[in-house]
Amino acid sequence: MKNSLYLFLVGLLFLGCKDDVKLLNKTSNSSKTPIVYYNGDILDMVGNSPSYKDALVEKDGKIIFVGDSKKAMEVAGIGHQMIDLKGKTLLPGLIDGHAHFANFGIQAIGAQILPPPDAGANNIPALIAILKEWNTEENRALTGWIFGSGFDDSVLEEKRFPTKEDLDKVSTEYPIMVIHISGHFASLNSKGLEMLAITSETKDPEGGIIRRLPNSQEPNGVLEELAAIPNYSKALTPASEEALLKLMTAGQDMALSYGYTTAQEGRAMEQHDLLAAFAEKDFWKIDVISYIDYAFSQHMDSKWNSKTYNNHYRIGGLKLTLDGSPQGRTAWRTEPYLLPPDGADKDYLGYPALPKDEDVTAIYEKAFKNNWQILTHANGDAAMDQMLRTMKPIADKYGNNDRRNVLIHGQYIREDQLDAYKELNVINSLFPLHTFYWGDWHKEIIGDSLGNKISPVKTALNKGLNITIHTDAPVALPNLMRVVWTAVNRTSRSGKVIGPNERLSAYEALKAITIWSAFQHFEEDLKGTLEVGKLADLVILNKNPLKVKPDDIKNIIVLETIKEGKSLFKLNQ
């Protein structure tokens, strides 16, 4: 029923049957009046070391000058507008290396069950209390479910997943689904399991596990990987067109508040239809680029599969997922976890999403044959071994020039695998955010020496690989300044430094979310630096990440986000 409603809502958006719903959220065209930005740290992000300019001139959504103030006045001409930065910092608009933009609204509006410092779910009673408070008629009307994302068993005091017994304390009348911070697990109450028709008779799907009560086949409410992910739409599909609009607006507004001018939907399934429908209505203010899950590759034949945006939306390529999450211990490894999950034996390695190499090979062959960029999620070294041994013959067969294929996450990558990725010209979009959120947990489950090597961004950079960094939001909040802070400091929740040799400089970290990310998306000619001819995608920060103490980077906030010369977000001060 929910999937039918979802498709119905998408159909309404495409056909425009609901004229009374105000979907047009598009900004007006940029003013033809030139705008001069001056009196601040204008950091152009060009070159291998920081360089500052006195002024920047924007006109018709493009940068027409960057340089000294006197020349800027000449270029701007008579009647231009002046924007005094008052000592603040102007950067190119921010571009996340990997995220799930279609779910930003769920994070923005759903129950706030992230652990500190992002929210207050530090134990299961606190999580239950947050869900109870969120459980209002207005909130349930969004999808018909009680929902939230971001609980983290590694931080919860009980060090376990909430079960149906826990969630039944919130409600037995309404279904509940809460999604793990990794995005790879969900916990449901009894009513939620009933809605999904998951019983003691339900078999585990390939690539997923339905956790059971001790000495029983009765589900305990926790779903792993492909037992969970395909069911997310049941709980998260908006129940009305009004709810759909509310979610999409909240997600886009949240992205803007963190300085995004380009957002990635990093695993689009049904979400592509939704994002495309909103693009048809000219709703998107920022650029949204989708990577289509391989199981939905029929979308690659649509008009949206293009190097250029149509109403700020396009398909960038394909997405393949080879394993799970390290913090959830479903990443596929070659060595056993020191601390296996509940019910697993001491030799537990995690597991693959696609156990047969021939299935992975077929997906890569389709992508290479059609010249589709492909992003591959792999966290465990066994998953990366599978990626490398299946991709290399296909690259040899079809050629590998400027494909810009991407490894996503790569938490437990080995140094020999970095060398292999360099040979294959695979961009490494790594995830140093883990060093804060789960750095202590990694050391506990894989050991101190390996734990210090998670997300080895500096080693990758030194080896000559192209890199980016990312939030994976809504795994964490889409706070790109916190991403920069983690890459620069690599400090865990307990204050330990997780691999000091893997720290990036603040400038390198900023490049990873500007020009290097633009390159990853084939957009370096239009975005990522402040240069003449590029889009006037800009962000103004309250402080300069290069001039504050490294630990203070996490406190930097976005004051204004500007897309193609149009101010879309401005913080009330």
- Which range is least confidently modeled, 138-142, 186-190, 448-452, 552-556? 448-452
Q: Mean pLDDT across the stretch 75-101?
A: 97
Among 31-40, 238-247, 394-403, the range with the most confident prediction by mean pLDDT is: 394-403
Q: Which band of pLDDT confidence, cut at 50, 70 and 90, is reported for residue 10?
A: low
- The average pLDDT across 212-231 equals 94
- At 398-413, the pLDDT tens digits run 999 999 999 999 999 9
List of E strands, 60-204? 62-67, 81-84, 89-92, 94-95, 111-112, 146-151, 176-180, 185-188
In the structure, what pLDDT confidence band is assigned to residue 361 with cuts at 50, 70 and 90? very high
Rounded to whole angstroms, the Cα distance separating 547 from 542 reads 12
Say how many C-beta atoms besides its own lie within 10 A of residue 479's C-beta. Answer: 21
User: Average pLDDT for residues 278-306, to the nearest whole number?
Assistant: 97
What pLDDT, in 10s, does the model give residues 298-336? 999 999 999 999 999 999 999 999 999 998 899 999 999
At residue 28, does pLDDT exceed 80? no
Q: Which two tokens stand for residue 31?
A: 């003013």
Which pLDDT band, with edges at 50, 70 and 90, does 27 fall under?
A: very low
Q: What is the mean pLDDT of the chain?
A: 93
The residue whose two tokens read 């490494």 is 428
- What is the arithmetic mean of pLDDT over 143-152? 93
| Residue 155's pLDDT band (cuts 50, 70, 90) | confident
Residue-wise over 177-187: b if at least 16 C-beta within 10 A, else e? bbbbbbbbbbb
Q: Count CB atoms within 10 A of the CB of residue 362.
A: 15
Residue-wise pLDDT for 99-142, tens only, equals 999 989 988 999 999 998 889 999 999 999 999 999 999 999 99
Collect all residues with Cβ–Cβ distance below 8 Å to 512 and sequence separation of at least 6.
Answer: 97, 457, 467, 468, 469, 487, 504
Supply the CATH classification number for the domain 35-87: 2.30.40.10
Which of 224, 194, 426, 202 is closest to 328 using CA atoms?
Answer: 224
Q: ∠ CA(254), CA(258), CA(262), 5° rounding?
A: 85
Percent of the chain with pLDDT over 70: 94
Contacting residues for 15 by C-beta, under 8 A, at least 6 apart? none
User: DSSP 3-state assignment of 221?
Assistant: strand
**Which amino acid, one-letter code, is at 431?**
F
89-92/35-43 β-pairing: parallel
The predicted-structure confidence for 446-473, as pLDDT tens digits, reads as follows: 988 888 999 999 999 999 999 999 999 9
CB 398 within 8 A of CB 462: no
The whole-number pLDDT of residue 572 equals 83
pTM score, whole prediction = 0.88
> Which residue has better confidence, 447 or 38?
38
